[in-house]
Amino acid sequence: MTPLQTAPEWTAAAPAIILAVTGLALLLIDTIDPDTSSNGLLAGLSTLGSLAAGGVAGWFLTQGTGMESSGGAITLYGDALVIDGMSLFFTLIFTSVAAMVSVASYDYLAGRRYQGEFYSLVMFAATGMTLMAMSNSLATVFVSLELASLPSYALVAFLKKNRGSIEAGLKYFLIGALSSAVFAFGISLVYAVTGTLLLPEIAANLSVSSDLVGVLGLGVLMIAGGFAFKTASVPFHFWAPEAYEGAPAPVSAFLSSASKAAGFAVAFRVFTVAFPLGPVTSLNGGGVDWSLLFAVLAVVTMTLGNFAAATQENVKRMLAYSSIGHAGYALIGLAAITTDGGAANGHVLGASMAHLLVYGFMNTGAFLFIAMVEKWGLGRTFADYNGIASKAPIAATAMTVFMFSLAGLPPFGGFLSKYFLFLSAIESGFWWLAAVGAVNSALSLFYYSRVVKAMWIEEPSEPLEIGSQPVGLYVAVIFAAVGTVLLLPGFRPVIETAQTVAAALF
Amino acid sequence: MAGILEFAPAIVLLPFLSFLIALGAGRYMPKGGALAGIGATAGSFALSVATFFAVSGGQNYNQTIYTWAEGLDAVNLTFGLLIDPLSAMMLVIVTLVAFLVHVFSLGYMNDEGETGLPRYYAGLGLFTASMLGFVVADNLLMAFMFFELVGLCSYLLIGFHFRQDGPPSAAKKAFLVTRFGDYFFLIGVVAVFATFGSAAFAGPDAFPVLAEEALHGEHSVNTFLGMGEQAWFTVVGLLVLGGVVGKSAQFPLHTWLPDAMEGPTPVSALIHAATMVAAGVYLVARMYGFYVLTPTTLAIIALIGGFTALFAATMGVVKKEIKQVLAYSTISQYGYMMLGLGAGGYVAATFHLMTHAFFKALLFLGAGSVIIAMHHNEDMWDMGGLKDKMPVTYYAFLSGSLALAGIVPFAGFWSKDEVLYETLIHGLGGSPILLAAYAMGLLAVFFTGFYTFRMVFLTFHGEPRSGTARDPHGVRWNVKGPLAVLGVLAATAGLVNMVPVEKLFGIKGIDFLHQFLDGSFSSLNAHHYAELMPYSSGYIGGETGTVAIGAAVSLGLALAGAGLAHRLYNVPEPVEHTDKLGGIKTTLYNNYYQDEYQVWIATGIVQPISRALDKFDQGIVDGVVNGLSSVSLFAGGRIKRLQTGVVSNYAALLTLGLTALIIGLGLIGGWFA
């Protein structure tokens, strides 16, 4: 008997509530003392809030809240929200990224105005992401997605005096608006066909007459488009390189790790719960083979991301494209689902989730390292990174860990997560997807190792000057690096949890 | 069966521990880590002796210690220990020699003020541990792994003085030449696994036993290349033999050994007497049950052995440096062991392995003592008259020389005579190849006697021929002690298996070693091997007569060689007589141009092939790879252009992309029907 079973049901949404309350508290502090210079308080509070939410999610996960062992998923508010293993797992990703970003922002934002707004926006975005992972109805999906997106637009444009930041924010917003429109249109079409917004009920009402199959298909595809925007997948990826490059680096870290994971969380749930592959591919007079759709998107996305990353001269932009490439890998989780997959479906989806968790650490760490370089006032290109290792060996070691882990080399977490992802894709019979993924990984090693080479081997053209040793950034980067390394030996519980909670969706 | 044999792993682990200690903490310890090595080898020696007696009492031990790869197509890869009389005997030899070498090194290395001692003692420790691991290995793969470790250690130790020119090059040569043989060995190991599914030496799955059953049609095995079982076993045996020929410095892979003299002399003693070189012959003895099934392989082993014995002995005749003479004598003596194994004389060869270990370690340590005395001048023509200055060294060295030359009753006589006797009777039993090998071996006896005593006379007798020889550097107890121990052993070790005495005088039961080796597992004992052997015996004038004739001829030849050396070199002022050899002299000095032709093979044949392959690699393989990456970069550049930075372009592309997806998926899904 766990104490949770006697607690009121709404407490199951505690992670989201904690994040929202933290965001409000930050606003409150900001209202009382708008010109506060106590950055430490704000950063500390938002870190604490993220950690508390993450801690609760982790505790729930170990206690089995919303999982088979304690009576199955908990639904709230007329089934609009669902708390199960998957939502908790993703909450863990969002909160750990939010915590790292908050710690790192302590230094990044030092001396800037509007700090209170910054942290509360991060918290609200995190709340939105958590709700995305919990959404059980297309209405909550849309609302939470907007709740995550709107603060993100503001965060990207946070450097108000910086033209790049403003431009990136505007582009992000415009593409986001277009995508939201497509998404909302898709939802309306699905509602028109099935007469409901609740995901399980959509699945129950799929047996439509043959002349409505096209409408349903259009709706499903447009919904997929909304998710493709959030996950930065082709063809909705155009905002990503610009937004990631122009945004403050901690925000890029937040968007490319947490926001992307949120997009996957909701996509996984909507497609496996509302549109089970078996029924939707064998409708009257047609079908909607979204597995094929995602297979195509996965291949195109990972290939485009990696090819474009290979030609970049700007490290941050390279990471932005690599982030698109990783979205392609994660899409394998949906692409490799088959109608008669059984346990293999859960395996590949779980492997994709585990990869997103590891990715949350290594990619956040990489962007935070860039934040550190920006803080030092060094340039943005590969050549500007020359010789950093001689001045900041610890940070450079951490960055090396991130790069090799992103490339999927042992002995780092990224190796195992990618390995399991490709392995379970092969298990599902999608060996060609795994092969494309492996070829892309090999290509990615080229541009990741360029960073390592620049840092450790190349000589700087002029003497490097590194001013401060930003404590918060160091802590966050080292935390991410330790996480990346520890996720290799500790990968077994992660993958087992992920595959168990993923299997519960089918 | 619990008892002392349960401690057998400690025999291997103790020297390994001393390796770790010397490596990690050697520089903080007195004597540079020597004491740890001495303690460890002494402990191993004590355990080995205890093991030896336990095995004499009829105990054997065959245990898998650790399975490190399981169930790969029903093949398990394991580490395990096999303690039977053969390995017990070898354990005693290796630990004893290693212990004495450690003690001797105190005098040779520490007292001479060498630097890098922790590295040296770490190397010795690992070397000893590797060899011991090889000796107790219970399967071929484990044996191979330790075989390679032995090779690595010899590389490290031969190249100990890495700042000079010679040692690193000699170390590389030793490593590469033995590696050439090891390639074949490795293929052989794989072949054994592929054929039998097991590489154990003993037990129910022992591959020699499986091979025997296969030849009797009681068990089916996988053969390859469309060969029958007999032919395939011969191929496998020859593949493994590649490693043996390399390690035991048999023709034509013997060329590394004389160069290996660049290593410190105690290392040479270890390499030649107990470890590296002995490993090859020991391996043949270990899997003798397999070799004995294939007459072709046996004949090849015997021929290689006989030829090497003679060939190396002739080269030893003209050398100037004392260690060079010993190096060629080593090659030659291992030739005898191979001859013995090839001729079906398992006990004889093992016997010679043992006696040789003692007297060759003695000779090297004696030479080391002389080298200390001569301030590291190794040229025998600068020596002379040392016998009065260093009597302990002289008498010990003399004992070793008498053993090497095969003069009764020193150890070498008994074992060498038995090797030749076995070859002779099996040759007479209808095997002309063995007779030819016997003839070569017999002739080599003469040369052995000659070069051995040429060395003794030039070094110790006559008048001193240089200032250092007149006033040699003294040596301490740590040099004399090991020499004394080995000197006694070289004189007496032969008494453990006095077959000629047994045969001539009809005294039963004094072939102790033979009885001892018979005490092994039924598939591993000498008796079993004798039953399987493809040879029959023939005699001249009955068994007794043959024994007497064989012993008399070989002793006579040895004495003749020694006598000739006495005539030529045991004079107050010896001169070089090599000019009398005419053209042969140059050939001998150049070691029959063995190095030259091997270098020619390397540069004349291998290098052009490598160049061609390199062209292929650079041109075609790299070309494809480079081409792919240029295509990737080009495509990446194109994709980059899509990202124009203009939002309306993005919106258009996004919509177009969505439309394309809708059309594609709609056509497949039949939405437009």
pLDDT of A77-100, one tens digit each? 888 899 888 999 999 999 999 999
pLDDT of residue A207: 80
pLDDT of residue B74: 62
Q: Which amino acid is at A423?
A: L
Specify whether the CB–CB gap between B256 and B173 falls below 8 A: yes
Q: A with B: how many residue pairs have Cβ under 8 Å apart? A: 92
Query: How many CA atoms are closer than 13 Å to the CA of A200, on its beta-carbon side?
Result: 10
Measured torsion, CA atoms of residues B48, B51, B57, B58, in degrees rounded to the nearest 10:
-120
Cβ of B640 within 8 Å of Cβ of A175? The answer is no
Please state, in angstroms and as integers, the Cα–Cα distance from residue A75 to each residue in A18, A66, B57, B254, B401, following that order: 18, 9, 78, 81, 95
From the CA of A463, how many Å to the nearest CA of chain B? 31
Enumerate the residues of chain B whose CB falls inside 8 A of the CB of residue A217.
662, 665-666, 669, 671
**Is the bond preceding residue B15 a cis peptide, omega within 30 degrees?**
no
pLDDT, tens digit (0-9, with 9 covering 90-100), for B403-456: 888 887 788 888 888 888 888 888 888 778 888 888 888 888 888 888 888 888
Mean pLDDT of B184-204: 85
State how far Cα A482 lies from the chain centre.
Answer: 19
Burial class of B135 by CB neighbour count within 10 A (0 to 12, 13 to 18, 19+): buried
User: For residue B1, what pLDDT band results from cuts at 50, 70 and 90?
Assistant: very low
Does any CB of chain B come closer than 8 Å to the CB of residue A190?
no
Does any CB of chain B come closer than 8 Å to the CB of residue A207?
no
How would DSSP label each residue in A379-403? -SBTGGGTTHHHH-HHHHHHHHHHH
Position B658 pLDDT exceeds 80:
yes
Does any CB of chain B come closer than 8 Å to the CB of residue A384?
no
Give the separation between CA A166 and CA B78, rounded to whole angstroms.
Answer: 65
Q: Walk along chain A (506 residues) and give the pLDDT tens digit of each residue.
A: 344 456 788 888 889 999 999 999 998 988 887 776 667 888 889 999 999 999 999 988 888 777 777 777 888 888 889 988 899 999 999 999 999 999 998 888 887 878 888 999 999 999 999 999 999 999 999 999 999 999 999 999 998 888 889 999 999 999 999 999 999 999 999 999 888 999 999 988 888 777 788 888 889 999 999 999 999 998 888 888 889 988 999 999 999 999 999 999 999 999 999 888 888 887 777 778 888 889 999 999 998 888 888 888 889 999 999 999 999 999 998 888 888 877 888 889 999 999 999 999 999 999 999 988 888 888 888 888 888 888 888 889 999 999 999 998 888 888 889 998 999 998 888 889 999 999 889 888 888 988 898 888 888 877 777 777 888 888 899 999 999 988 888 888 888 888 888 888 88
Enumerate the residues of chain B whose CB falls inside 8 A of the CB of residue A170.
647
Give the separation between CA B343 and CA B336, rounded to whole angstroms.
Answer: 10
Give the separation between CA A449 and CA A168, rounded to whole angstroms.
Answer: 27
Q: What percent of chain B is modeled with pLDDT above 90?
A: 0
Cβ of A214 within 8 Å of Cβ of B637? The answer is no
- CB nearest to B665's CB, from A236, A293, A311: A293
Measured torsion, CA atoms of residues A225, A228, A232, A237, in degrees rounded to the nearest 10:
-30
Residues with Cβ < 8 Å from B24, sequence gap 6 or more?
none
Does any CB of chain B come closer than 8 Å to the CB of residue A279?
no
The model's pTM is: 0.64
Burial class of B220 by CB neighbour count within 10 A (0 to 12, 13 to 18, 19+): exposed
Structure tokens at B484: 């004394």
Cβ of A285 within 8 Å of Cβ of B673? The answer is yes
Q: Nearest residue on chain B to A181, judged by CA atoms?
A: B655
Specify whether the CB–CB gap between A389 and A455 falls below 8 A: yes
- CB nearest to B643's CB, from A217, A236, A241: A241
> What ipTM was predicted for this assembly?
0.86
pLDDT of residue A5: 53
**Which of B646, B649, B665, B668 is best to mutate for the A interface (most A CBs within 10 A)?**
B665
Mean pLDDT of B585-593: 73
- How many Cβ atoms are within 10 Å of B461's Cβ, its own excluded? 21
Between these two residues, B204 and A435, which has the higher pLDDT value?
Answer: A435
> B156, B95, B100, B94: which is closest to B123 by C-alpha?
B156
Q: Nearest residue on chain A to B633, judged by CA atoms?
A: A311
> A385, A364, A388: which is closest to A482 by C-alpha?
A364
Does any CB of chain B come closer than 8 Å to the CB of residue A307?
yes
Q: In whole angstroms, how large is the CA radius of gyration of chain A?
A: 22
Cβ of A221 within 8 Å of Cβ of B665? The answer is yes
From the CA of B673, how many Å to the nearest CA of chain A? 8
User: What mean pLDDT is reported for chain B?
Assistant: 83
Q: Nearest residue on chain A to B664, judged by CA atoms?
A: A293
Most confident of A1-15, A388-402, B491-505, B512-526: A388-402
pLDDT, tens digit (0-9, with 9 covering 90-100), for B76-95: 788 888 888 888 888 898 99
From the CA of B622, how many Å to the nearest CA of chain A? 15
